[in-house]
Amino acid sequence: MIIGQYSYIIDDKKRVGIPTKFRNSLKQGGKQGGVLTKGFEGCLYLYPQKEWEHFLDLVNRLPYFDPATREMKRSVVGSAMDVKLDSAGRILIPDYLKEYAELNKNIIIIGLNDHIELWNEEKWKNYSPDLDKISNNLKEFGL
């Protein structure tokens, strides 16, 4: 299970450790890594391979002739990068993704069950979802 919140540091070589608790989810089918891509609200998403394939299946069901679908595919799928865990459990963050998420030395890594989010620490501190508003919106989904 991928849950929890952790503070990490990006080293000078643009590598960041993945919490030990999350690493098993990134070791599927003999592979040791996942797919890193742009996320919503200016963070990065790190998907285990199996979850990435599930995400792509959902995306591919969206209507291609809808401009929002094409834009989302270009942004999220088009920016995706396979990443591998090194022997120390770190991944390398490509420059274009590091710039997109404004990642500097201090980052927050959050487990969201099916994927991991990587946030600029300051951006995460300033991000404050309104849980009451969210709960009202989720009522329509039966939650």
Report which of residues 20 and 1 the model is more confident about.
20
Contacts of 95 (CB under 8 A, 6+ apart): 14
Q: Is 131 exposed, middle or buried (0-12, 13-18, 19+ CB in 10 A)?
A: exposed
Query: Residue 111 is inside which H or E element, if any?
Result: strand 106-113
As a whole number of angstroms, the distance between CA 103 and CA 124 comes to 11
pLDDT digits (tens, 9 = 90+) for 132-141: 777 777 777 6
Which of 36, 49, 12 has the alpha carbon at shortest distance from 109? Answer: 36
Amino acid at 79: S
127 pLDDT tier (thresholds 50, 70, 90): confident
Q: What is the DSSP string of 31-64?
A: --EEEEEE-GGG-EEEEEHHHHHHHHHHHHTS-T
The pLDDT of residue 38 = 97
